[in-house]
Structure 1
Amino acid sequence: MDSTSRTPSERSRLYKNKDKDGEELRRRRNDASVELRKASKTDQMMKRRNIDLAAGDDDEDVALGDGQQQASGKVLSPLRDANNVLANASIDDICKAMKSGSPADQFAAIQACRRALSKERHPPIDEFVNRGVLPELVVALTKPANHQVVFEAAWALTNIASGEAQHTRAVVNAGALQPLIELLNSEHLNVAEQAVWALGNIAGDGSELRDRAIKAGIVQPLLRLLQRVSRDSAIAASSSSSGSDNSISLLGNCAWLVSNLCRNKNPPPPASAVLELLPAMAALLQAPHKEVVQDTCWALSYVTDAVNDLIGQVIASGVLPTLVALLDHTEAAIVTPALRTIGNIVTGTDQQTDTALAAGFLPKCHRLLLHNKPNIVKEAAWALSNVLAGSQPQIQQVIDNNLIPPLIGIVINGDFKAKKEATWALTNMVTGGDEAQISYLANQNVVPALCEMLSVQEAKIVCIVMESLTALLSLAKKYNQADDMCIAIEGCGGLDKLEALQEHENPRVYEMSLQMIEEFFGNDEDGGGNESGAAAAGDGAGQMMFSAPTDGNAPAGGFKF
């Protein structure tokens, strides 16, 4: 069945206060997730990272003692002469030297390979891969006696894995996965961090390589490394040690790797692995570094999106209060994934939604609906659409927090994507609210906002708007006020739009518009709905005010427009 031809009862299955169909419930969130990842270059960069040379890092490398490292975490080669020999060598000469039996030549070749892959805007990944350097780099990972060789090889593999999907897969197929995981246990933190970079690129490639990394045993070594670096970071911070920058960098890269182990959902990550990582995510969310918090929020958003059964586990981990507090953060890059995670949580059961509301989510939403970032406005409206799809007490909490007026304002004046989400929110309220709540909605001047969306191109949106207008008209007719509601719709141009929809190419749109006009705007005696014959007054703009019915009877004085 075409989505635009759903009946109201069928459409109601999209929302959790109805049949609680999990697949239908998640449909719109999945679409939004794909759209977000396609639209956001920042999020795309989270999948892959090519490590460029630090500013000012030229070919004249500075010799460093064993175990010593720069603030960037990159250990440079003490073999200056060998490096200079190959600094301007061709790719063929570099590959030839890498396959020689001389340790010095091999090291110089590996470093020259890494430099070539790091410096150029379009690194010659294919050229090196096609010349068979991957097995040599993988073998170099297994030489713990010289951790600088290991570091350079891991760096080169990281940048190869940052290329296209076939390059990442070639790194894994060459046997690099297991040695890189073992390097997470390295006593040299710069080597461990380089392994984290490489593994992050592999895990971020897609579900298959992510799962291969998990199956190969990445989780436990990563958790041990996180525990180690968190301890070192705290010690360094308390002593103002020069190593604190390195600890922060490694902690950030570990958080990024965690996020890539949680992302992608066809299939989703193994629940057992996610459960092992959840305590670490809860701890990382408390880090005083925004990059760490940002990546952790994305990881939690992926978990709550891909694995519905884990929403309860995420709540149990205690992260909700922190996520709600992060909605006040000054950085939109943190607000966005925190809001997305909470939005995912409120697509769960009514009890899970209640937990988010009890954590103080709704009071934060007023500012989010007025945010200067359109995407945050859209995300907030989407999250509220799921709350308004819940129980009537949850709908009442949205009303009590005065969030309906800004939602209506978004439909009238907002960015188009936000307008659509706000429209879903308002129509959900019409679908699931009681008569008093629907009457409140009408009192907030919702008719002009809904009529505004009758002229959009998406047939699905037009249909849900007509369903909601029909529900409002039916309620008004119940209390002998349909004529007044018709005047409100006509006064804001809604009737003209309904008539225009009879030329719509979608059959369902045509049928619904025709039915509405015949039932409520016809000239026959039964068509109007105001059976009392009371004079209807309108201001020509569709604004309306009426009393909310509370006991099932017509309110005293009737609707007041």
Structure 2
Amino acid sequence: MSSDSHKKLYKKLRANPTDMRTARISNFLELRKRKRENDFQRGRNMLLIMPTNGNTNENNELATNNSQVAEPTTSQVQQQPQLFVVSEELLQKLNSNEEQDLLQAISELHLSLSDIPNNTPIGELVHKNVVKRFVAILKNKNNDSTLQYEIVSILNKIGCDSSQVYTLIEAGAVPVLLDLLSSSDHKVQEDAMSALGNMAAESSVNRDLLFNSGIMVPLLHLLSSCPEVSLVRSAIWTFANLARWRNPPFDCAQIGESMFILKELLEGNSDPDILTDACLTVCYLSNAREHVQAVVDADICRHLVELLVHPERRVFTAALRAVGNVVHGNEQQIKVVLDYNALPCISDLMHYSSHLIRKEACRSIANIAAGNPDQIQAIIDANIFPQMLLMIKTAESKTIKEIIRSLTNATTFGTSDQIHYLAKNNSLPLICDFLTTADTALTLMTLKTLENILKVGNEYQTLPNPYALAIEECGGLTKIESLQSHEDLEIYHKSFNLIDQFFEDEEDDARMTPVTGIDQFEFSPQNLPDGSLDF
């Protein structure tokens, strides 16, 4: 700010504080709008990348696909962020006991911070103890709400820098920000909530600190009673950040109350931001299987299924992830989702343009297929397995893994008739293609699927086993034989056992047992485990 404009602003403040305050509010409403748009885009991307299976790269891509961010230009990529500098004059005013100097300095600082990119290093504010000064000012509950708003906005901006989050905590900002959640000024509440959300996003340690400091009571109160959409957005985003950490998992006495409030948000909102973050919160909470029943009891499943056909991708993506967690529960919980007619919606998403969404849809089917025969029959009736077998020819590796897992589960928990259905329609050559994959887990699932099918083939009255013949004719037997030299012992055992049970001629029953030596092991097929996988 130039010297002339600085003097003009200073005189104006002294001459007419009321007019100055009105002008300042009008000015910062626009600044706040721009800042909140940037903050929410950052926060929502962060939430969308939180993994449900620990795969960071995959979920980073999911976040990129779900955010509408323009590609940076060459000049933007090459340009390095400049340091934010606090002038000595401004620093003196920030430490002044003169209210007018303090107000002006905070206004200047807020304006300057609102105009800089989010990646600008602002450590100088920390080094010069500005944060501690602001926390001390906020402890005075008689402060003007506009002053509170500007200070909290500055703290929120500092909290957007991950390296400075702990500075806010060490300066004692948590209890002060929690007190401001009960402010009569929605703008103050909103920025205080956002600052707390940034803290929760950094670590489970911060999450636990906020829990122990009592964040859940004011948070749930605002979510259930606040009419301000922007504040509800900030609150549900903060809740999602609190729920996202899995190690240790979310442990909250208000889990039942939380679920019913989330149900109300999903039921009574059309705002895509609120719907997305509410679905993500349900998704993160239901990562702990003991919380799935709370999702069912609150009748959230009906709304999740409805949102699977929402026009906005970020909404149905979050809903799909939550549905995938619910159907990872027990048979009764799976039944609730199926009763809301989820399968046609999931089937449609299996053909979506993004392979990550296709993978999530197939993950849901694999979880459902681990249920009971009635639930497997529902998948069959929806004609989903033939679609999967068509997809498997061109699918990305993680989607292939979920398709094979679906077949493994269905052949493990299904009836003989259902397994016969899955073994037909030229499916065996497609399944056998994944016997020689480099993915050990995928190879094991493929072997288990073939074992389940071959067992049912033995039920035919005529010999030989028709599925054994089909596997041999498509080259599957050769691949199984090659697996006997696999470095993974479990794959070796399973392939050895399959050949022994389903492909050996009677005259070859007395086959040789591997020789025991110093660096070898004795192998006795009759003492082997059955090779079943725990799903």
Scaled by the length of structure 1, what TM-score is found?
0.72
Q: For 2:65 and 2:117, how far apart are their aligned partners in 1?
A: 18
Deviation at 1:89?
6.5
Q: CA RMSD of the aligned region, Å?
A: 2.7
Deviations 1:478-512 (A, max 9, x none): 32354532342234332343244344322332343
The answer to whether residue 309 in structure 2 is matched with residue 328 in structure 1 is: yes
Deviation at 1:106?
2.5
SS of match in other structure, 1:271:
coil
**Residue in structure 1 matched with residue 254 of structure 2 by the alignment:** 273
Q: 1:377 to 1:259 in 2, by over 3 A?
A: same
Structure 1 contact 411–420 (Cα < 8 Å) conserved: no
The answer to whether residue 344 in structure 2 is matched with residue 347 in structure 1 is: no
The one-letter amino acid of 2:483's match is L
Structure 1 contact 252–292 (Cα < 8 Å) conserved: yes
Deviation at 1:216?
1.9
**Residue in structure 1 matched with residue 147 of structure 2 by the alignment:** 149
**Residue in structure 2 matched with residue 357 of structure 1 by the alignment:** 338
The answer to whether residue 211 in structure 2 is matched with residue 214 in structure 1 is: yes
Q: Which runs of 5+ in 2 are unaligned?
A: 1-49, 67-83, 510-535
Q: For 2:64 and 2:123, how far apart are their aligned partners in 1?
A: 22
Q: 1:220 to 1:121 in 2, by over 3 A?
A: closer
Bigger RCO of structures 1 and 2 (CA < 8 A, at least 6 apart): 1
Q: For 2:182 and 2:212, how far apart are their aligned partners in 1?
A: 17
The answer to whether residue 463 in structure 2 is matched with residue 466 in structure 1 is: no
Where in structure 2 are the equivalents of 1:214-253 lying within 5 Å?
214-230=211-227, 247-253=228-234
**Residue in structure 1 matched with residue 416 of structure 2 by the alignment:** 435
The answer to whether residue 119 in structure 2 is matched with residue 122 in structure 1 is: yes
SS of match in other structure, 1:412:
coil
Q: 1:32 to 1:261 in 2, by over 3 A?
A: closer
Which of 369, 372, 376 is 1:395 aligned to? 376
Deviation at 1:389?
0.9
**Greater displacement, 481-490 / 274-283:** 481-490
**Residue in structure 2 matched with residue 40 of structure 1 by the alignment:** 60
Which of 115, 134, 137 is 1:140 aligned to? 137
The answer to whether residue 245 in structure 2 is matched with residue 264 in structure 1 is: yes
**Residue in structure 1 matched with residue 95 of structure 2 by the alignment:** 99
SS of match in other structure, 1:413:
coil
The answer to whether residue 498 in structure 2 is matched with residue 516 in structure 1 is: yes
**Residue in structure 2 matched with residue 504 of structure 1 by the alignment:** 486
SS of match in other structure, 1:386:
helix
The answer to whether residue 394 in structure 2 is matched with residue 413 in structure 1 is: yes
Deviation at 1:258?
2.1
Q: 1:42 to 1:422 in 2, by over 3 A?
A: closer
SS of match in other structure, 1:186:
coil
Structure 2 contact 86–124 (Cα < 8 Å) conserved: no
Which of 190, 198, 201 is 1:201 aligned to? 198
Structure 1 contact 385–422 (Cα < 8 Å) conserved: yes
SS of match in other structure, 1:478:
coil
Q: Which runs of 5+ in 1 are unaligned?
A: 1-29, 47-87, 231-246, 528-561
Deviations 1:173-208 (A, max 9, x none): 211111111212222211111111111111222222
**Residue in structure 1 matched with residue 275 of structure 2 by the alignment:** 293
**Residue in structure 1 matched with residue 517 of structure 2 by the alignment:** none
Structure 2 contact 86–125 (Cα < 8 Å) conserved: no
Q: For 1:92 and 1:490, how far apart are their aligned partners in 2?
A: 82
Q: 1:208 to 1:447 in 2, by over 3 A?
A: same
Deviation at 1:139?
1.9
Q: For 2:223 and 2:459, how far apart are their aligned partners in 1?
A: 63
SS of match in other structure, 1:40:
helix
The one-letter amino acid of 1:513's match is S
Q: 1:31 to 1:427 in 2, by over 3 A?
A: farther
The one-letter amino acid of 1:501's match is L
Deviation at 1:93?
4.3
Q: For 1:149 and 1:500, how far apart are their aligned partners in 2?
A: 74
Deviations 1:276-315 (A, max 9, x none): 3222211111201111100000001111113x22211211
**Greater displacement, 466-475 / 389-398:** 466-475
Deviations 1:374-421 (A, max 9, x none): 112111111111111111222122212222111222323212111101
Q: 1:31 to 1:288 in 2, by over 3 A?
A: closer
Deviation at 1:261?
2.5
Q: For 1:123 and 1:432, how far apart are their aligned partners in 2?
A: 55
**Residue in structure 1 matched with residue 3 of structure 2 by the alignment:** none
Give the count of matched residue pairs. Answer: 439
Q: For 2:390 and 2:205, how far apart are their aligned partners in 1?
A: 44
The one-letter amino acid of 1:108's match is Q
Deviation at 1:171?
0.7
SS of match in other structure, 2:299:
coil
Q: 1:121 to 1:175 in 2, by over 3 A?
A: closer
Q: 1:399 to 1:278 in 2, by over 3 A?
A: same
Deviation at 1:44?
9.7
Identity %: 30
Deviation at 1:431?
1.1
**Residue in structure 2 matched with residue 161 of structure 1 by the alignment:** 159
SS of match in other structure, 1:414:
coil
Deviations 1:416-475 (A, max 9, x none): 111101110101111111111111111243212211211221112101211221232232
Which of 327, 352, 365 is 1:371 aligned to? 352
**Residue in structure 2 matched with residue 51 of structure 1 by the alignment:** none
The one-letter amino acid of 1:291's match is D
Q: For 2:484 and 2:283, how far apart are their aligned partners in 1?
A: 42
Deviation at 1:520?
3.7
